[in-house]
Chains A and B, each alone.
Chain A
Amino acid sequence: MKEKTIVAGVVVVLASALVLAAGTPDVVYVAVSIAFFGLCIAYAEGCEKL
């Protein structure tokens, strides 16, 4: 599960970076919102492991 969380986090960060580099502001804000909530789910996984 830990590996899955790390991979999910990296994917989210990379996808966000890609959108930031190429997207319009609307796409950036929507993608960043989705990424934030995705990270919150990963954060919940992380909290459980602490």
Chain B
Amino acid sequence: MNATLGWIQLALYLGVLLLITKPLGLYLIQVLDARGRTWLDPILGPLERLTYRLGGVDPAGEQHWKAYTISMLIFSLVTMLVTYAILRLQAILPLQHLLNPQGFSSLPDHLSFNTAASFVTNTNWQSYGGESTMSYLSQMVALASQNFFSAAVGIAIAAALVRGIARDSAQTIGNFWVDLVRITYYLLLPICLVYALFLVSQGMIQNFKPYDAAALTEKETVQVPRNDANGNPVKDAQGNPVMEPKAVDTQSIPEGPMASQMAIKMLGTNGGGFTNANAAHPFENPTPFSNFIQMLSIFAISSALTYYLGRMVKSPGHGWSVWAAMCLLFLAGFFVCWHYEAAGNPILTSLGVDSADGNMEGKEVRFGITNSALFATITTDASCGAVNSMHDSFTPLGGLVPLFNIELGEVVFGGVGAGLYGMLVFVIVAVFIAGLMVGRTPEYLGKKIQSFEVKMSMLVLLVLAMDILGFTAWACVSDWGKAGLNNNGPHGFSEMLYAYSSVTGNNGSAFAGLTASTYWYDTTLAFGCLIGRFLMIVPIMAIAGSLAAKKLVPPGPGSFPVSGATFTFLLIGTVLLVGALNFLPALTLGPVVEHFLMLAGKLF
């Protein structure tokens, strides 16, 4: 794709995103109000009421922030344990011939734990290849349902925080169970139904057939690890796997219920692929149109939530200012990534590769440079984690962008709900800094920002930094950490840093190059997911409760304006400053030094 087409596509993408923000935001206002009315009420209303009756939920009863949080934690724990059980019992669950036609065995304990923690937190880090590991039952019941639930939980938390900001001297911030049911029934399920049909129309598969086998026109021999009689890999005296040749004359073509899972994978910013190649696989992303819609759906709900924020706090300008800050950060990241990927690798250029081709390593030729850079930026701005190119193969500074996006807390539109509540933490910090600069009591939309809110915001930012840097440091100095590396030097470090950034940010994309399906990696990455999700949500909910209880003071001449260009740039500055202070030293050791070594002629 030439640059002009790239610019046109970017303009089209932003234009359509802007176009759907208000209508979807208006719809969210109805969905996130327990008494809201939608055009789906005649169909879904009875189902909603039946669900409340079966669950013993009083839809009119609201919860204190702590009760709301505990409900969310208990729900997450139960669904995580159910997911774990399904994965561990995959090989003996009913209807094997229909729902596990490949006869996949049950997952090992550490991989089940990692996957359950990953999907309950909306991370969808995958230490497995989907098409060679998961039965159709596991894909549909364990993973796809978690995609719905974890997305709904994120949106519910954001809605609770917005209610906390908007309410005047209130003790409650909504009802978690009502939010969960309404978001799932009225928002995610209907859109995903239409979305899945669209994906099928583009050529995505949706069936329960066993895998097909295609005969290779050119037979080849590959090296595979040798296993002993128990199926365990044989290792030599140095601990390296012993390889043996294997003749390959057929190729397995995956089948399965893919479209139904891919719809929520993108809309819910989950990102876990049905296949290992994720959205680079022709079945998971069949056409340029499906690629465009998939990218759009990643940002759709998060973008609409900014409109929801503006309307709920009776300051539409504030919602649009937050949207503008997100949009500018998105554009900055995309331009850097696009520039370095289009420029290519100077070492390859010196060897005669046409520099006009850019860096095509690890990229699907159907998508090329622009769509790969755009997808990588979008998927890491949001907490999606789906990929249509391999981030490990990006140029060092091109690869820095996805990494830094995640480390900013994924607040650039961000994950569904998670992006907004993360950005609101930065808003509180920005308002606090502005208050300090001008010597006024910090105030946000008529609510005084006091030490409690600032302490909770700092806690959120500390959890982010400590989870990423702590686990990365541990892996760097551990034998188990270094054993997983396939690249040395700064690139190997980047792989480790990316892995723990990805799980902490609940992104789930991998830099690749890291053998992560080991006891240590699976377990530490699972804890990275859990800490990055729940230890951040709890203080955010505490902020929601605290703000809800405060008296709403009408804005006066001394109030800090939270809409307009000044606020937008202050917010951008705060996000970048916090991100830079926390992570630039680590980034310097990884992609930055790798860039300079590349210029000096050294690759890793």
Do A and B pair up? The answer is yes
Q: Chain A: residues with CB nearer than 8 A to chain B?
A: 25-26, 29-30, 33-34, 36-37, 40-41, 43-45, 47-48, 50
User: Which residues of A lie under 8 Å from residue B530 when comparing CB positions?
Assistant: 36
Taking CB atoms, residues of chain A closer than 8 Å to B187 are: none
**Contact (Cβ within 8 A) A47 B538:** yes
Asked if B248 is at the interface of the complex by the 8 Å CB criterion, the answer is no
Contacts of B141 in A (CB 8 A): none
With contact pairs A40-B534, A43-B538 given, residues A29 and B112 touching in the complex (Cβ less than 8 Å): yes
Given contacts A30-B84, A41-B70, A44-B66, contact A50 B110 (CB under 8 A): no
Q: Is B88 among interface residues, defined by CB-CB distance under 8 A?
A: yes
CB distance from B178 to the nearest CB of A (A): 20
Find out whether the CB atom of A40 lies under 8 angstroms from the CB atom of B535: yes
* B contact residues around A30 at 8 Å (CB): 81, 84
Complex alpha-carbon distance, A29 and B110, angstroms: 8
B541 near A37 with CB under 8 A, answer no
CB distance from A29 to the nearest CB of B (A): 4
Q: Any chain A CB within 8 A of the CB of B109?
A: yes
- A-contacting 9-mer, from B38-46, B71-79, B431-439: B71-79
Smallest beta-carbon distance A18→chain B, Å:
19
Name the interface residues of B448-491: CB closer than 8 Å to any CB of A.
Answer: 452, 455-456, 459
Contact flags (1/0) for B42-84 with A, using CB distance below 8 Å? 0000000000000000000000001001100110110011001
CA distance A37 to B318 in the complex (A): 35
Bound form: Cα–Cα A28–B73 in Å: 20
Most buried by B among A34, A41, A45, A47: A47
Known: A25-B109, A47-B459. A41 touches B539 (CB 8 A): no
Enumerate chain B residues within 8 angstroms of A48, measured Cβ to Cβ: 66, 542, 545
Q: How far is the CA of A36 from the CA of B530 in the complex (A)?
A: 8
For residue A41, give the distance in angstroms from its CB to the closest CB of chain B. Answer: 6
Contact between A25 and B455, CB atoms less than 8 A apart? no
A50: B residues at CB distance < 8 A:
452, 455-456
* A40-B535, A47-B539, A50-B455 known; A26 vs B74 contact (CB < 8 Å): no
Question: Please, which residues of chain A bring their CB within 8 A of the CB of B74?
Answer: 37
What sequence of 0s and 1s flags, for each residue 408-445 of chain B, a beta carbon within 8 Å of any chain A beta carbon?
A: 00000000000000000000000000000000000000
Cα distance A47–B463 in the bound complex, in angstroms: 13
Q: Knowing A30-B81, A33-B80, A36-B530, say if A44 contacts B70 (CB, 8 Å).
A: yes
Given A30-B84, A33-B77, A47-B456, also A40-B109 (CB < 8 A): no
Asked whether A25 lies within 8 Å of B452 as measured between CB atoms, the reply is: no
Q: How far, in angstroms, from A34 to B539 measured CA to CA in the complex?
A: 20
Tell me if B113 is interfacial: C-beta within 8 Å of chain A: yes
- What is the interface of chain B, defined by CB distance below 8 A to chain A? 66, 69-70, 73-74, 76-77, 80-81, 84, 88, 109-110, 112-113, 116-117, 452, 455-456, 459, 527, 530, 534-535, 538-539, 541-542, 545
| Nearest residue, chain B, Cβ from A42 | B538
A contact residues around B542 at 8 Å (CB): 44, 47-48
Main secondary structure of the interface of B (DSSP, over half): helix
A29 near B77: Cβ-Cβ < 8 Å: no
Tell which of B109, B539, B541 touches A26, judged by Cβ atoms closer than 8 Å: B109
In the bound assembly, the distance between CA atoms of A29 and B113 in angstroms comes to 7
Considering the complex, give the chain A residue whose CB is closest to the CB of B69.
A44
Closest to A47 in B: B542
> With A and B bound together, what is the CA distance between A1 and B73 in angstroms?
20
CA A26 – CA B111 in complex, angstroms?
11
Alpha-carbon distance between A22 and B15 when the two chains are bound, in angstroms: 59
A26 and B89 alpha carbons, distance in the complex (Å): 12
Which residues of the partner chain A approach B81 to less than 8 Å between Cβ atoms?
30, 33
Task: For the complex, give the distance between the alpha carbons of A5 and B193 in Å.
Answer: 45
Set B116, B117, B535: member contacting A43, Cβ < 8 A: B535
Chain A residues, CB < 8 A from B69: 44
Q: Quote the shortest CB–CB distance from A6 to chain B (angstroms).
A: 17
Is A33's CB under 8 angstroms from B66's CB?
no
5 A–B pairs (Cβ distance < 8 Å), ordered by A: A25-B110, A29-B113, A37-B534, A40-B535, A44-B538
For A41, list chain B residues within 8 Å (CB).
70, 73
Q: Give A30 to B109 CA distance when docked, in angstroms.
A: 10
Whether B541 lies near A44 (C-beta < 8 A) is yes
A33-B84 contact in complex given A41-B70, A44-B541, A47-B456, C-beta closer than 8 Å: yes
Measured CA separation A48–B117 after assembly (Å): 26
- Which chain A residue has the least Cβ–Cβ distance from B117? A33
The residues of A that contact B527 with a CB separation of less than 8 Å are: 36
Q: How far is the CB of A35 from chain B (nearest CB, A)?
A: 10
Q: Which of A25, A26, A37, A43 contacts B76 (CB 8 A)?
A: A37
B91 → A minimal CB distance (Å): 15
**From residue A33, how far is it (CB to closest CB) to chain B in Å?**
6
Shortest Cβ distance from residue B521 to the other chain A in the assembled complex, whole angstroms: 15
CB distance from A49 to the nearest CB of B (A): 10
In the bound complex, how far is the Cα of B542 from the Cα of A1, in angstroms?
17
**A33 / chain B contacts, CB cutoff of 8 Å:** 77, 80-81, 84, 113, 116-117
